[in-house]
Amino acid sequence: MLQSQSKQKVTIKGNKDGLTVHLDDRCAFEELIEELQEKMTEEGLPTGEGPEIHVNVDVGYRYIPPEDEHAVIQTIEQHGRIHVANVHSQVISKYEAEEQKKETEIAKVARIVRSGQVVHTKGDLLLLGDVNPGGTVEATGSIYVMGTLQGMARAGIEGRGDAYVAAGVMNPAQIMINESVYIAADENVEENGQSTNDVQESPCYAYINGKDIQFDKMRGFSTR
Amino acid sequence: MVGEAIVITSGKGGVGKTTTTANIGTALALQGKHVCLLDTDIGLRNLDVIMGLENRIIYDLVDAAEGRCKPQQAIVKDKRFDCLHLLPAAQTTDKSAVTPEQMKSLVQELRPHYDYLLIDCPAGIEQGYKNAVAGADQAIVVTTPDNSAVRDADRIIGLLEQEDLAAPKLIVNRVPIVRSDYEDALDVDDVVSTLAIDLLGMVVNDENVLKAAQQGEPIAMNPSTKPGLAYRNIARRILGESVPLMSLEEKEGFMNKLKRMFGVGKTS
């Protein structure tokens, strides 16, 4: 009886991606850890020297906070050769869900970003207005400036290399996408502020090409 | 009367805030308005010098703010106009001598006695600026057509937008009319489109402004000079008169006229 119950809580299955440890999502977490502990110290598991075994953990519809996740990983990894590749859950917290939503949303801002001001958003930023010299716009995603971009734009600030910066009139002092930086040539910045050769009067966007930032006309824009 | 308090500011120093304050004040007084000029540049006052009133100062703004005298006692009457008064800044202390709250109540106390209170703001964005803005209902931003002044004006407009004020108005000062200077300056159109606020007027670069300031007689007294006329027009616009402008075309017309005048002068 006891034996059959424990089999329901922790099951290990093999598929084409390797081993998956399924954890029952209805029982108490303590019971689960207990079971897991038993399974891991059971006889018959590969021992001694050999390649590392990667396993996935599937907790089903159980919400698993970071400390519980850590406990599960530790219990499994106490066996020297087993490594947990990832812990998969069907459930996330409301906070995480909202953060994820922000990541994929477009924040709309209608104002002029003036010298000394910083506009920071999660996800993409759609700015209806200008970024004046000395002003800064930042987003974890892409940035679209409908007016003139003369200040600084930082897109993909949390590491998204596929982010881009688009502007109606492109005359930035600096553009940063992820880790790549474009700095306007000196004559661009100082000479009357406007009307130097590098200024893109027609809508234009900047993206990472290799390691450098490259500019391209909006015509013929295609999602790469 | 419920006076309107207008702060005149720029961020950057040396663009002509004090000159502008003195001249708009004079021009408003010429229209028969009761005007009080408040100098908040404590420690570095010179509005009194430009007005030619430095010898008459007994008490100052700090005395009035701290209650050592009544505001009315600190006020200095102008030589030329009975309706033009000056509340001078203190010269012996610095900007931290007054708090924004004190400024606010000082402005409130003076408000009933005047049509307009013009507050001359010191350069910078620190205490002095905060004091000057505290009591104001409206702001005029002064800039010159060069990059650093425009940059600072942009910063100041950003700060003013956070205050509880009406949308600030712009005066572009020292607009060059000599063609050789023209090359180095920014186009007024570009300045206005960058700052994106209403243009109240522009004043051409003219050595007579400096000369007049030296003599303690604001240039607005002399309508035969271009800056004098410009200040009078600005005053009339503040009064709500329809000396057109506000629209770019009018300004363009004015500029072209000046250019033409210069062109004619050169060829003849």
Is B155's CB within 8 Å of A133's CB? no
A127 and A211 co-located in one domain: yes
ipTM of the complex: 0.74
Q: Which domain holds residue A51?
A: 2-91
What was the pLDDT predicted at A44?
A: 59
Instruction: Read off the CATH number of the domain in which A150 is found.
Output: 2.160.20.70
Instruction: Read off the CATH number of the domain in which B129 is found.
Output: 3.40.50.300
What was the pLDDT predicted at B181?
A: 67
A67 and A152 co-located in one domain: no
A119 and A197 co-located in one domain: yes
Is A115's CB within 8 Å of B194's CB? no
Q: How close A115 gets to chain B, by Cα (Å)?
A: 5
Over its length of 268 residues, how does chain B's per-residue pLDDT go in tens digits?
A: 788 999 999 989 999 999 999 999 999 999 999 999 999 999 999 899 999 898 999 999 999 999 999 999 999 999 899 999 999 999 888 888 999 999 999 999 999 999 999 999 999 999 999 999 998 999 999 999 999 999 999 999 999 999 989 999 999 999 887 766 667 788 888 899 999 999 999 898 888 888 888 888 899 998 888 889 899 999 999 998 877 653 333 344 566 666 666 665 444 3
Q: Is B154 an 8 Å CB contact of chain A?
A: yes
A209 and A130 co-located in one domain: yes
In a domain, A224, yes or no: no
Longest dimension (CA), chain B: 62
Residue of A nearest to B162 (CA): A117
**Who wins on pLDDT, B38 or A55?**
B38
Chain A residues within an 8 Å CB radius of B147:
133, 190, 193
- Which of A109, A112, A115 has the highest number of chain B CBs within 10 A, making it the mutation to test binding with B? A115
Does the CA dihedral B62-B67-B68-B71 come out positive or negative? positive
In a domain, A211, yes or no: yes
In a domain, A18, yes or no: yes
Token output for B55: 């010898």
What was the pLDDT predicted at A128?
A: 96
Is A193's CB within 8 Å of B158's CB? no
The whole-number average pLDDT for the span A51-64 is: 86
A47 and A112 co-located in one domain: no
**Statement: residue A30 has pLDDT above 80:** yes
The whole-number average pLDDT for the span A35-57 is: 75
In a domain, A72, yes or no: yes
**Statement: residue A195 has pLDDT above 50:** no
A160 and A208 co-located in one domain: yes
Q: Phi and psi at residue B30, in whole multiples of 5°?
A: -60, -30
Q: Which domain holds residue B10?
A: 4-267
What was the pLDDT predicted at A191?
A: 46
What was the pLDDT predicted at B131?
A: 93
Grade residue A46 by pLDDT with cuts at 50, 70 and 90.
Answer: low
Instruction: Read off the CATH number of the domain in which A41 is found.
Output: 3.30.750
In a domain, A146, yes or no: yes
Nearest to A137 by CA among A105, A168, A114: A114
Give the C-alpha distances (Å, rounded to integers) separating A140 from A204, A208, B100, B160: 20, 15, 39, 29
CA terminus-to-terminus distance, chain B? 52
Q: How close A188 gets to chain B, by Cα (Å)?
A: 13
In a domain, A175, yes or no: yes
Q: How close A150 gets to chain B, by Cα (Å)?
A: 10
A15 and A117 co-located in one domain: no
Give the C-alpha distances (Å, rounded to integers) separating B57 from A53, A173, B237: 89, 49, 31
Q: Is B113 an 8 Å CB contact of chain A?
A: no
Count of domains observed in chain A: 2
Q: Is B192 an 8 Å CB contact of chain A?
A: no
Q: What is the pLDDT of residues A72-90, one digit of tens each?
A: 888 888 777 788 888 888 8
pTM: 0.74
A28 and A57 co-located in one domain: yes
